[in-house]
Amino acid sequence: MGTGSSVNANFKYSLQKSENAFKAAVLIQRWYRRYVARLEMRRRCTWRIFQSIEYACEQDQIKLHNFFSYLMDHFTPSSSKERDFISRMFVSGESVKEAELEKYCDYESMEVPGSYIGPRLSFPLLPDHATALLEAFKQKQQLHARYVLNLLHETRKHLKQLPNISHISTCYSEEVTVCGDLHGQLDDLFLIFYKNGLPSPSKTYVFNGDFVDRGKQSLEILIVLFTFLLVYPNEVHLNRGNHEDHMVNLRYGFTKEVMQKYKVHGRKILKMIQNVFCWLPLATLIDEKVLIIHGGISDTTDLDMLEKIQRHKFTSVLRGKKRKELEFSRWVRQTVQEQIERCRRLVDVSESEEEELTYSSLVSMTDLDAPCWTRQEEWKQILDILWSDPMPQEGCRENTVRGGGCYFGPDVTAKILEKYHLQFLIRSHECKQEGYEFCHNRKVLTIFSASNYYEIGSNRGAYVKLGPDLVPHFVQYQANKTAHTLTMTQRISRVEESAFRALREKLFAHTSALSSAFKAYDKDGTGRITLSNWATAVESVLRLGLPWRMLRPQLVRSAADGALEYQSWLDDLAMEQRSREHIQSGLLEVIYRNRSNLETIFRIIDRDHSGLISFEEFYQTWKLFSSHMNIELTDDGISDLVRSIDFNKDGNIDFNEFLEAFRLVKQSQ
């Protein structure tokens, strides 16, 4: 009896112990799930902040160029000086004539000094040249300007012979590797080559655009890719992205990078790169089944039209919307003359021996009865494939978030796939947390190869490999060593801090508009508004589409009785920014809001990219953009202003002096 009782007691004790352990495990599991869910919510909010700010910046860029188009249509020059200024501003982006381009590419007249210890190139290029460049760039060496220009010259010659849509097959290589945006992050390219191997006759690569901007080593990426393109022309394929556009480069850093690295020959290098970009193919087809484009498609995408477009005519896709009648008629006359010349060549080929035939010209010569598309239709085809994004909803609508291209739904994807007998699309253009993402029933694949794009730990990079079965295999990576040492919580906290810092700068840049919006809800002038009204007012001003009520605890520290003292909150924003920049808060707000536009305008005026503009260019600029900036100045006032801001008295205006002028005028108002 005693023994049985003891056994029962032990059994009950064990059962109770197991039950308690099970309850504890359930509680821990619930706690962990809530913890992970909160982390995921924070990650998604952070992601939306970064993307909203990025796309708003792109929208500002296109708005600025729409304003340029408006000036083209409505600004009437009152003097020959103003006519010359307008001409330089808006025609400098047009296609460069062959003879003029040769002048920019006079690399043969450049001498490489004996003290130069960097890599040396000789043409035709060999695989050893490519590997030597990789090692040199790992050692932070710089390629001499002579070799850069020579490389660009040879790259341009090669690209001119390529079709608008490259056709490749998995029959001739083990697999095809597709890489997305790199955005000047050379370490990501190094890591891809380390993991996947260098381009070779058995290893084909497709790089899907956006090689440049934002990162600090865009030029090195171009040099490496162009070198491998010339060494393995059948195994390396480059698509054009929306950042392979000299007008976009003015805003996002590539122009500035080149001029800083090549102060003497930077202008020549930029002019050559501008022309090389417009010769990049627009798409790639793998086994006639997988279409690779940078951005996306629309309900009007026509691959037959894309095949025949003279792509080099579009040096900047941002400059396709409007043209002044004078410019349009000049283009029409040029086009007619080109058609006459083509017909003449067909009759007497001997007269065309001096002119180099390109792939696009050969297409036109062999298909004279093809439909005649307008320049506007051709421009929209290119704009859509470079700028568009997929959306989960059906249909196709204007991409108002980016300001260019469109949003296309799964029905649009299905229609294009069926029409051209495709299996799926590969595109890039959007940063994804895991480096890749499927949508539209796995018929659209986004691949993004720039890791840590927004901040260290924000996202992985990835590339995709396709064999003869066309089944995608992904490889993900983190190029930054610090990201590997961070826990998930540390990584999210670091990225979150960076995102909210950027968002507070955005809020501060719109202080005046926010103050007016808050006062509209404060009918009694109490200086307080509800948190709900705060969220509505903030969205009405910034239009970022963010969940402000969810973000409010990170942005509004205290709100007694569910109400916010909005002026105190705005003062706190100003104090935070002033601690970094010792400028009057009202002026600093204006600078934060307009700096990107002002810098873009300055670089457009600065045609030789010297970092300086003349007094006359400054004078014409302020007359031209006074309506855009809501600033009124008399002619004498502009003259006095230009003299007062030329601090070093060198007779030119640099960007800091240009910015100073803007501050002074705002201050006087």
Tens digits of residue pLDDT in 369-379: 445 668 888 99
Q: What is the pLDDT of residue 650?
A: 67
Q: What is the pLDDT of residue 559?
A: 65
Pairing between strand 424-427 and 563-565? Answer: unpaired
Give the model confidence (pLDDT) of 240-256 as tens digits: 999 999 888 988 889 98
Indicate which residues carry an active-site annotation: 243
Confidence of residue 505 (pLDDT cuts 50, 70, 90): confident
The torsion angles phi and psi of 150, rounded to 5 degrees, stand at -65, -45
The torsion angles phi and psi of 471, rounded to 5 degrees, stand at -90, 125
Closest-CA residue to 488 (of 54, 38, 49): 38
The torsion angles phi and psi of 35, rounded to 5 degrees, stand at -60, -45
Give the chain's mean pLDDT.
81
Q: What is the pLDDT of residue 270?
A: 92
Give the model confidence (pLDDT) of 6-54 as tens digits: 667 777 777 777 788 888 888 888 888 888 888 888 888 888 888 888 8
Residue type, 600: T
Residue type, 428: S
Average pLDDT over every residue of 286-293? 97
> Distance between CA atoms of 386 and 245, rounded to whole angstroms?
11
> What percent of the chain has pLDDT above 70?
72
Tell me which of 283-297, 370-384, 492-506, 517-531 is least confident: 370-384
Tell me which of 237-241, 346-350, 445-449 is least confident: 346-350
The answer to whether the CB of 583 falls within 8 A of the CB of 663 is: yes
Give the range with max mean pLDDT: 31-35, 173-177, 419-423, 522-526: 419-423
Query: Taking the alpha carbons of 49, 54, 59, 60 in that order, is the dihedral positive or negative?
Result: positive
CB atoms within 10 A of CB 226: 24
Query: 58 or 432: whose pLDDT is higher?
Result: 432
CA distances from 415 to 257, 294, 382 (A): 42, 19, 19
CB atoms within 10 A of CB 463: 27
> Distance between CA atoms of 387 and 442, rounded to whole angstroms?
21
Closest-CA residue to 320 (of 602, 97, 83, 94): 94
Average pLDDT over every residue of 456-472? 94
Confidence of residue 418 (pLDDT cuts 50, 70, 90): very high
